[in-house]
Chains A and B, each alone.
Chain A
Amino acid sequence: MSSDVMAISSARIDEPTWPETLHAWVTTVDHKRIGLLYILFALLFLAVAGVEALVIRIQLMYPHNDFVSPQVFNRMFTMHGTTMIFFFAMPILFGFGNYLVPLMIGARDMAFPRLNAFSFWLSALSGLLLYFSFLGGSGLYGAGSAPDVGWWAYAPLTAQAFSPGSSADYWTIAVLVSGFGSIGTAVNLIATILCMRCPGMTLGRMPLLAWLYLTMSGLALIGITPLSAAQLMLLVDRYLGGHFFDTQAGGSATLWMHFFWIFGHPEVYILVLPAFAFMSEIIPVFSRKPIFGYPVMVAATVCIAFVSMSVWAHHMFTIGMNSYANSFFAITTMAVGVPTGIKIFNWLGTMWGGHIQFKTPMLFAIAFLFQFLIAGLTGIMQAAAPFDWQLSLSYFVVAHFHYVIVGGILFALFGAFYYWYPKVTGRLMSERLGRLHFWLFVLGFHLTFDVMHVPGLLGMPRRIYTYEPGRGWDTLNLLVSIGAFIQAVGLLVFVANLILSYWKGTRAGKDPWDAWTLEWSVSSPPPAYNFATVPVVASRRPLWDLKHPEDPDSLYE
């Protein structure tokens, strides 16, 4: 574009000093930089939570192992879960949303840039607060350190009587504050998507990624507030003489469970919808076909969001609800599998009749499809409540949800990294290292999480710092632990690829994948203002229309 050339040739700016660069990043309100800050912080927390997972797996390699004490082990699984959900998964998905949504809808930034920055810093600093608990958790009463009550922090384990010191408070306040950050970004995404689409981009023409982030943000607004409320009630119990959850004084342990899971279940859909977004952008491009059934994909997304708010007590099938309640949650849980399954079929339909290219982003998308299918099916198994009376609270459910979050969401994230890295940096990631990363991770993932279902079927509960020999769990746990290390190596290859490609990667140009959405119409990396002139679109694939003027999508939509 001639205006780009003029802007570049007339610029003669001295290179900024490193304090100036640091200051620019810390005070930025640019959605692209905030997106990258989210992603960077999330990757750091991924590494920390990953080390916590390795500590868990080393301890469980052998029965009666004493690699760590029960105190440390209980902190490890609590911090691993809390960090992964609130300080890795949420931030990294908000980071991708931040970066991509304005670019994909033809906007120059998010609706509220300063709220954007504020939300990021709330998330980042609350993560640091959580980890400060290792130092400050003993509080005035001793016997503290990092929280050790599990990432759901069930009452009354979190009461002062059972959790003296401040460790439970670090969990409560860090997660509470990060929730405010999430709500800020959700508000921003909704306002941006609803109000700042470029001319011609009706809701029915915006990329599926935008629909999925819009829905996810709505879920975040509705789902995070019960958790925040419960956390405030817990603080009242612990410090102001309240008895909401204080069972010794007539309070209710199940009240906490309902509040938590009314958040907790929509939360996992908040995590998975962006993964669906990445798949819905990657699979069409590498199949060389438009997404199959766009309107139904949108309808299924919205349907998932609504139904997901009615399933929460399937996390509570064992707490002794009556048969009618258990039946209700069984059918809603099975029902939410229908729109979710439909999405898998639509992705399959997209690939069907295409010319599938097995580049690295597509490799991860293909693995996602198989793995998410399996994860969904083990979910259906647990929807059958009596079956869940055996499977719940065992390693079967740990295997199930890691299958969704690692096999589904993390694989989708890897695909997204390889797909959009050239847009962000101007260079392609190495395909060779990408394949090495992919196969190592597939091997490690399946070794760990396929095998992990079996100890659950053989009676091994979760959250135990050691286990008894002679129950058939020994070799299985050893295999699971070996797989974890293989995944760690895969992750190191990925990080090496991220770093090396920044300097050595092939230059990508605007549109290395021959894709069709607006972000591929600007330079790589995009200019600070995204679009010199605001684009005008007439279909869901504006770049397809530009590249195929004789056969534009606008004739068929």
Chain B
Amino acid sequence: MKTTQLLNIFAPESTPAGAIVDLSVLVLSVTAVIFLVVAGLLVYALVKFRATSATMDREPAQVYGSTQIELAWTVVPVLIVVVLFAATARVIHAIQDAPQPPAAVEVTVIGHQFWWEYRYPNFGVVTANELHIPVSDPSRPRPTFLKLLSADTDHSFWIPQLAGKTDLIPNRVNALWMDPRRPGVFLGQCAQFCGLQHAKMLQRVSVDTPGEFEEWIRAQREPAAEDQSTSSGRRIFETTACINCHTVRGTAATGRFGPDLTHLMSRVTIASGAAENTPENLRVWLKDPDAIKPGSLMPAMKLSDVELDALVRYMQSLR
């Protein structure tokens, strides 16, 4: 995570993001020409018509206007608007009204303060914060269609290289789709101010090859791994308030308020990207979440060092 990875909106890897770039090229070209012409004329006027000692004693010709010129510089902008709007409306419809093909992967995204819940209704998978979607081959498209919901305040889903952003608004269902063209990891974060830790509601999208995606789905569908050596940690998990908020499938933990932890170790980060998923960070987080993400809604449970060690070992068994 130390190398630079640009989230460049001009480096699209998906059809909607690409359509936006194509439109932006037209818009930027038109605005660039307008700028060069008008700014050029301004500079010219400033140089050519500056007052000098020769012009000191008289006023210039007092011109009040010119109907022809004013007509021209009304008609031309109107024509520019017509052209820009035609291009814009086409792209709006192409992206928003694109039909969902039968092969599409469906994901329901639920925004929370301050994490992302991902549910795959057709696969029976529930996970959090790190999204896995398959790469889409243009000859046999397999886009991902996302349904966007919110459990509390407004949020916004923005992975710049894959699509424009769409908000997650409580009491409303929004939609977004993307068809990534190459495997890789794409980053983003919540773009609509949602409260104290809006800045740390980070997103990580893993675009997998078909084989990788099938494997990931298969592993995510499994209930939690059984590991007798972590039973003391599991007992702490199940008798402290953890199970009120978190789900670990196959156990007594069925809480829905916080992220699903069944396969916590399959994630690269914790706290929605606020820290790398290492044992050290896990321990800091479990001891006091405010140390990593002050204002996150997970309370510190005042566990002793022994309890923390056991709990971390249990978390690490949730592969």
Contacts and interface: CB of A to CB of B under 8 A. Distances in A.
A319 B169 contact: yes
Contacts of A342: 70, 73-74, 77
Interface stretch (B53-61, B103-111, B253-261): B53-61
Interface string B1-21: 111111111100000110110
B51 interface: yes
A71 B196 contact: yes
A88 to B, nearest CB: 22
B206 interface: no
Interface string A153-187: 01011000010000000000000000000000000
A344 B41 CA distance: 11
Contacts of B42: 348, 351, 366, 369-370, 373
B211 to A, nearest CB: 29
Interface string A506-533: 0000000000000000000000000000
A20 interface: no
Interface stretch (A24-32, A405-413, A465-473): A465-473
A355 B196 contact: no
Nearest to B7: A459
B64 A389 contact: no
Interface stretch (B130-138, B171-179, B303-311): B171-179
B27 A387 contact: yes
Interface stretch (A37-45, A114-122, A374-382, A431-439): A374-382
Interface stretch (A4-12, A203-211, A265-273, A326-334): A326-334
A352 B46 CA distance: 8
A348 B88 contact: no
A532 B28 CA distance: 56
Interface string B72-97: 01100110010011011101110111
B81 A337 contact: yes
Contacts of B64: 290, 292-294, 556-557
A373 B280 CA distance: 53
A351 B49 contact: yes
Contact of A320 (B2, B55, B95, B174): B174
Contacts of A319: 167, 169, 174
A385 B160 CA distance: 15
A121 B144 CA distance: 57
A557 B64 CA distance: 8
Contacts of B73: 341-342, 345
B193 A320 contact: no
B185 interface: no
A482 interface: no
Interface in A428-446: none
Contacts of A323: 92-93, 96-97
A471 B7 contact: yes
A355 B20 contact: no
A438 B173 CA distance: 50
Nearest to B71: A296
Contacts, number: 287
Contacts of A287: 49, 60
Contacts of B88: 327, 330-331, 334, 383-386
A124 B269 CA distance: 49
A251 to B, nearest CB: 7
Nearest to A162: B153
B84 A320 contact: no
A318 B20 contact: no
A349 interface: yes
A373 B68 CA distance: 23
B13 to A, nearest CB: 13
A472 B6 contact: yes
A332 B30 CA distance: 18
Contacts of B7: 458-459, 471
Interface stretch (A214-222, A390-398, A415-423): A390-398
A355 B97 contact: no
A288 interface: yes
Nearest to A73: B199
B127 interface: no
A457 interface: yes
Interface size class of A (residues with CB under 8 A): 35 or more
B23 interface: yes
B208 to A, nearest CB: 22
Interface residues of B, number: 95
B89 A334 contact: no
Given A457-B10, A467-B199, A470-B3, A373 B39 contact: yes
B74 A463 contact: no
Given A70-B196, A459-B9, A471-B187, A381 B24 contact: yes
Nearest to A347: B42
A142 interface: no
A323 B60 CA distance: 52
A248 B9 CA distance: 35
Contact of A354 (B8, B60, B69, B92): B60
B171 A252 contact: yes
A393 B192 CA distance: 7
A156 B170 contact: yes
A544 B86 CA distance: 48
A374 B20 CA distance: 21
B24 A387 contact: yes
Nearest to A322: B96
A437 to B, nearest CB: 20
Contacts of A128: none
Nearest to B65: A293
A150 interface: yes
B193 A385 contact: no
A253 B70 contact: no
Nearest to A394: B191
Nearest to B176: A320
B189 to A, nearest CB: 6
A157 B92 contact: no
A70 B295 contact: yes
A339 to B, nearest CB: 9
A356 interface: yes
Interface in B135-193: 148, 152-154, 156, 158, 160, 163-167, 169-172, 174-175, 187-193
Nearest to B1: A470
Contacts of A385: 88, 92
B145 to A, nearest CB: 14
B171 A247 contact: yes
Contact of A334 (B4, B45, B81, B92): B81
A251 B273 CA distance: 31
Contacts of A461: 156, 158, 189-191
Interface in B30-56: 30-31, 34-35, 38-39, 41-42, 45-46, 49-52, 55
A253 B96 CA distance: 21
Contacts of B69: 349
A341 to B, nearest CB: 5
A358 interface: yes
Contacts of B158: 393, 459, 461
Contact of B4 (A70, A374, A470, A553): A470
Sorted nearest first, the 5 A-B pairs with minimum C-beta distance are: A389-B164, A459-B7, A320-B174, A464-B199, A247-B170
Given A251-B171, A384-B23, A468-B189, 8 more contacts: A70-B197, A157-B195, A253-B171, A290-B64, A327-B85, A355-B60, A459-B188, A551-B62
Interface of A: 69-71, 74, 148-150, 154, 156-157, 162, 247-248, 250-254, 287-290, 292-296, 318-320, 322-323, 326-327, 330-331, 334-335, 337-338, 341-342, 344-346, 348-349, 351-358, 366, 369-370, 373-374, 377-378, 380-381, 383-394, 457-459, 461-468, 470-472, 548, 551, 553, 556-557
11 contacts: A150-B193, A292-B64, A320-B169, A386-B20, A387-B23, A387-B27, A390-B165, A459-B160, A459-B189, A461-B156, A472-B6
